[in-house]
Amino acid sequence: MTGRVNGKIALVTGGGSGLGAADCLALAREGATVIVTDVAFDAAQRVATRIGNGAIAMALDVSSEAAWQAVIADVDQRFGHLDILVNNAGIVQMADCEDVTLEQFRRVNAIMNEGVFLGCKYALPLLKRAENASIINMSSTGALLGYPIFFAYSAAKGAVRSMTKSIAVMCQDKGYRIRCNSVHPGAIETPMVQEAEGRIGTERPVASGVLPAGEKGAPEDVANIVLFLASDESRFVNGAEFVIDNALTIRAW
């Protein structure tokens, strides 16, 4: 199948690396015009250049309200609406509830909790102008399981999971043609997971259950679900959570 998101305008946060980059490539391959955003503008530019026609790069720190307002104003001026918003940007932070500092907790939540809220809030006026819009929020299995050393990260991802459902129902109740779903990957081979594994390996013994012992997924495994949720194929899928973890979260032992 080709052209699954033909003619749609998509904005992806954290699009310069890992899962976000794979999302951008998949959406562009299937016909979307992709706004690749990242706090690391060079990285966003590299992905946009790789896509070529049909992609533009923009600098966006998702934790900044002013940056969101500026980017949305730019998108409004260029396109007048937005069909797809992928709130993907994130960082990893490793400390349990006893060790994490308030500053660390706030930083993680500023990016992955407030960043998703700001993205939804400021993109909604443009999404409301689309025929069938879709918000895809990147959560994690961290929102579903007890990972002690990903305390702040899991708190943020739990917030993403619940705000997704709240937005889905709000949009339905207000008659907006906007769906909102969350995605919950397990361990996927990206720079973030490499960093986390490196730190687990050097700072702590590798505890079973911290990261799955099995093979990791590829960014495309997540991008395939994002693409489905972005497309009109998923028109009856709303407020749902998609776990992409090769059975990690449903094991009974």
Helical packing angle, 102-112 and 151-173, nearest 10°: 30
Binding mask 22-61 for ligand NAD (x = CB under 6 A): ----------------xxx--x----------------xx
Among the listed ranges 3-11, 15-23, 165-173, 197-205, the one in contact with ligand NAD (CB under 6 A) is: 15-23
Which tokens sit at 96?
A: 């349990």
Judged by CB, which is closer to ligand NAD: 20, or 231?
Answer: 20
Q: Which of 56, 91, 95, 218 binds ligand NAD (CB under 6 A)?
A: 91
Task: Please check whether residue 127 is in contact with residue 8, taking contact to mean a CB–CB distance below 8 angstroms.
Answer: no
Q: Is 180 helix (H, G, I), strand (E, B) or coil?
A: strand
Q: Which of 134, 159, 185, 225 binds ligand NAD (CB under 6 A)?
A: 185
How many Å apart are CA 201 and CA 195, to the nearest integer? 10
Residue 98 dihedral angles phi and psi, to the nearest 5°: -75, -35
Judged by CB, which is closer to ligand NAD: 42, or 131?
Answer: 42
CB of 53 to ligand NAD, least distance (A): 22
Task: Please check whether residue 57 is in contact with residue 48, taking contact to mean a CB–CB distance below 8 angstroms.
Answer: yes
Touching ligand NAD, residues 69-88 (CB under 6 A): 88
Q: Which of 90, 94, 126, 243 binds ligand NAD (CB under 6 A)?
A: 90
Q: So which residues are the catalytic ones? A: 153
Q: Does 187 bind ligand NAD (CB under 6 A)?
A: yes
Judged by CB, which is closer to ligand NAD: 59, or 132?
Answer: 59
Straight-line distance from the first to the last Cα atom of the chain, in angstroms, rounded to the nearest whole number: 39
**Beta-carbon neighbour count of residue 120 at 10 Å?**
24
Q: Is 89 helix (H, G, I), strand (E, B) or coil?
A: coil
Q: Which of 9, 10, 11, 19 binds ligand NAD (CB under 6 A)?
A: 19
Among the listed ranges 99-107, 144-152, 161-169, 180-188, the one in contact with ligand NAD (CB under 6 A) is: 180-188
Touching ligand NAD, residues 106-165 (CB under 6 A): 111-112, 138, 140
Q: Is 54 helix (H, G, I), strand (E, B) or coil?
A: coil
Q: Which residues of 63-98 are buried (b: 16+ CB within 10 A; e: fewer)?
A: bbeebbeebbeebeeebebbbbbbbbbbbbbbbeee
Judged by CB, which is closer to ligand NAD: 20, or 130?
Answer: 20
Interface residues toward ligand NAD, by CB under 6 A: 13-14, 16-20, 38-40, 43, 60-63, 88-91, 111-112, 138, 140, 185, 187-188, 190-193
